Amino acid sequence: MADRSFTSSTQAVPVVGAVPRHVAIIMDGNGRWARKRFLPRMAGHSKGVEALRGTIRAAIERGVEYLTVFAFSSENWRRPADEVSFLMQLFIKSLQKEVSRLHENGIRFRVIGERTRFEPALVKAIAAAEDLTAGNTRLHLTIAANYGGRWDVLSAVNRVLARTPGLTEVSEAAVDAELSMNFAPEPDLFIRTGGEQRISNFLLWQLAYSELYFTDTLWPDFDAHTLDQAIVSYQERERRFGRTSEQLADDGMGRHA
Ligand code: IPE
Ligand code: IPE
Ligand code: MG
């Protein structure tokens, strides 16, 4: 059973100005970064891994507890076969290269998404990294790979139904507990790089009340500085979850409390 002892972001109002506990990022713009330099798209993906490394370090320094990044969507299989294959190899190579460093830094590594379509070497590398880092708590790093938000919600609903034959209604709490991110609070801050302003089937259920931040910065150029800009923007916002500003002030939670 998942640990549900945290307060869900949908219910509890975090203090304005706090560092977001959970940051979720769509790492977009690798291809355009490469094209601008007359390089193959693959060069952008390789550079993107470096940007992720820097972002992980910065997130830890800032006190972020959960970092979830979209690396490959269930729709990305539609890309040219050589690009898909390059991305899979890059995933395996990066994992093998980085896993001990992740572990040394107290990072708990997880992958969410449908793994059955991955080649055995990748499935093995993921399982090994998850096992090795299972006891770590400093930062929960989650990579969404072959992930789709609709797949996640439907799988959760189907698991609930399968468990209780004859069930005609499924509760929010039951679905919540079966989602692949059931171990984490909902994202406080959602970032998408690369200028596009869409969710692209990322964490559909959990983004209900996340603060959205879009930047034209291409993912390979993302770093501690651009992360800070997103966090500052987040800290200036008032999260109301349906309430009014006055209610928040009365409860000591608002901007001017
Ligand atoms: C994001 O960069 C990485 C993946 C989707 C794997 P893109 O490859 O989508 O880069 P653009 O959007 O073409 O610039
Ligand atoms: C979304 O990026 C998924 C990832 C970053 C892995 P895309 O670049 O594939 O998204 P769309 O297709 O432009 O929406
Ligand atoms: Mg893209």
Q: Is 211 in the pocket of ligand 1 (CB under 6 A)?
A: no
- Residue 9 domain-assigned? no
- pLDDT band per the 50, 70, 90 thresholds, residue 234: very high
Residue 75 falls inside a structural domain: yes
* pLDDT score of 134: 98
Provide the domain count of the chain.
1
Of the pLDDT bands very low, low, confident and very high (cuts 50, 70, 90), residue 4 is very low
- Indicate which atom in ligand 2 lies nearest the CA of residue 198: 14
pLDDT of residue 10: 65
Answer yes or no: is 246 within a domain.
Answer: no
Please confirm, yes or no, whether 76 is among the known catalytic residues: yes
Ion ligand 3: residue ranges with CB closer than 5 A: 28
Res. 256 pLDDT band, cuts 50 70 90: very low
- 56 found inside a domain: yes
Instruction: Let me know if 30 is a catalytic residue.
Output: no
> Domain span at residue 83?
24-176+211-237
Question: Ligand 3 centre from 8 Cα, in Å?
Answer: 30
Q: How much distance in Å is there from the Cα of 75 to the middle of ligand 3?
A: 11
Q: Looking at the domain assignment, is residue 182 inside a domain?
A: no
Report the mean per-residue pLDDT for the chain.
Answer: 93
Q: What is the pLDDT of residue 254?
A: 59
Task: Give residue 91's pLDDT band: very low, low, confident or very high (50, 70, 90).
Answer: very high
pTM to 2 decimal places: 0.92
Domain harbouring 127, CATH code: 3.40.1180.10
Q: What would the 3-class secondary structure string for the chain be?
A: CCCCCCCCCCCCCCCCCCCCCEEEEECCCHHHHHHHCCCCHHHHHHHHHHHHHHHHHHHHHHCCCEEEEEEEECCHHHCCHHHHHHHHHHHHHHHHHHHHHHHHCCEEEEEECCCCCCCHHHHHHHHHHHHHCCCCCCEEEEEEEEECHHHHHHHHHHHHHHHCCCCCCCCHHHHHHHCCCCCCCCCCEEEECCCCCCCCCCCCCHHHHCEEEECCCCHHHCCHHHHHHHHHHHHCCCCCCCCCHHHHHHCCCCCCC
Percent of the chain having pLDDT more than 90?
A: 84
107 in a domain, yes or no? Answer: yes
pLDDT tens-place string over residues 123-177: 999 999 999 999 999 999 999 999 999 999 999 999 999 999 899 999 999 999 9
Q: Is residue 255 part of a domain?
A: no
Could you tell me the distance, in angstroms and rounded to a whole number, from the CA of residue 257 to the centre of ligand 3? 41
Task: Tell whether 194 is covered by a domain.
Answer: no
